[in-house]
Amino acid sequence: MYAITEGVAKINDRKVHAFKREVFAGDAVLTVKAGTTGYKGEVCRKDSSRTFVCLESILGDVHFTPITDPEGHMTGFQIVGCGDDTLNALVRAVKFVEKVLDEQRLGYND
């Protein structure tokens, strides 16, 4: 079993209840955090929901690269990992994010 800690992340002046755990897979260790305010019924930033995902490599061969548009604005990121342990750690981290966000969206099923 693994330990999950709870905390709060502040996203655009909104508090988001977040969960954190460390993912271990052989020689790879990742810290993953995720949380959301759930659905708010709005599409604009002012009153809409907030969702938070953070992934940090503690041990292992993982590289994070921003993706930018022609003006230099970050529009995304890519994650590159080497080795079977990193593959397994990334899969576990993504599954944790999916579980947290799915449970926090209050049972809505699309």
pLDDT higher than 60, residue 101: yes
Residue 80, CA distances (Å) to 49, 61, 92 in order = 29, 8, 15
Would you say how long the chain is, in residues?
A: 110
pLDDT tens-digit map of 9-54: 888 888 899 999 999 999 999 999 999 988 888 777 777 888 999 9
**DSSP assignment letter at 71:** T
pLDDT bucket at 108, cuts 50 / 70 / 90: low
Percent of the chain clearing pLDDT 90 (strictly above): 74
> Is the pTM of the predicted complex or chain greater than 0.85?
yes
Read off the amino acid at residue 72: G
Longest dimension (CA), the chain: 45
Rounded-to-integer distance, Cα 39 and Cα 105, Å: 6
Tell which phi-psi region holds residue 38, choosing left (phi > 0), alpha (psi between -120 and 50) or beta: left
